[in-house]
């Protein structure tokens, strides 16, 4: 789980390049989840641009929930996310939370 603002770019069917800002909600080596103001069609190829690079992928899900559209992106086979290459501003590793909650000092007696 994470949170960071990223630039999202894609081509319309007309060939026109479009871009907007999206909120990166989750990221893994194979894909990401974005929150955006507008829906995106399934299969649409897009590019997520961040401070020092970019990731390419295609839309694998899109649904509206409360305040925006949640868009799943499956990264292309040749470009995977790496924590060394891009670390979102707010990155939460659930495994670290689990480890903290099971450490001896956090147990209730």
Tell me the pLDDT tens digit for each residue of 53-100.
889 999 999 999 988 999 999 998 776 665 566 555 544 455 554 455
Q: 43 with 53: CB under 8 angstroms? A: no
pTM score, whole prediction: 0.72
Q: How far apart are CA 66 and CA 5, in angstroms?
A: 19
The CATH class that applies to domain 2-106 reads: mainly beta
Q: Is 101 helix (H, G, I), strand (E, B) or coil?
A: helix
Q: Is 97 helix (H, G, I), strand (E, B) or coil?
A: helix
Q: What is the pLDDT of residues 2-55, one digit of tens each?
A: 577 899 999 999 999 999 999 988 888 889 999 999 999 999 999 998 777 889
Q: 49 with 68: CB under 8 angstroms? A: no
* Domains in the chain: boundaries: 2-106
Strand 2-11 relative to strand 45-50, pairing: antiparallel
Kindly report the number of other CB atoms within 10 A of residue 80's CB atom. 14
């Amino acid at each position: 789980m994470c949170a960071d603002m990223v630039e999202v770019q894609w081509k319309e069917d007309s060939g026109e390049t479009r871009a907007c800002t999206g909120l990166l909600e989750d990221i893994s080596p194979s894909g990401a989840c974005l929150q955006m103001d507008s829906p995106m069609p399934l299969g649409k190829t897009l590019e997520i641009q961040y401070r020092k690079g970019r990731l390419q992928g295609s839309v694998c899900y899109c649904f509206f929930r409360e305040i925006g559209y949640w868009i799943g992106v499956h990264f292309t086979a040749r470009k995977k996310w790496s924590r060394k290459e891009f670390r979102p501003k707010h990155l939460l590793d659930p495994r670290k939370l689990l480890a903290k909650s099971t450490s001896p000092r956090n147990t209730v007696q």
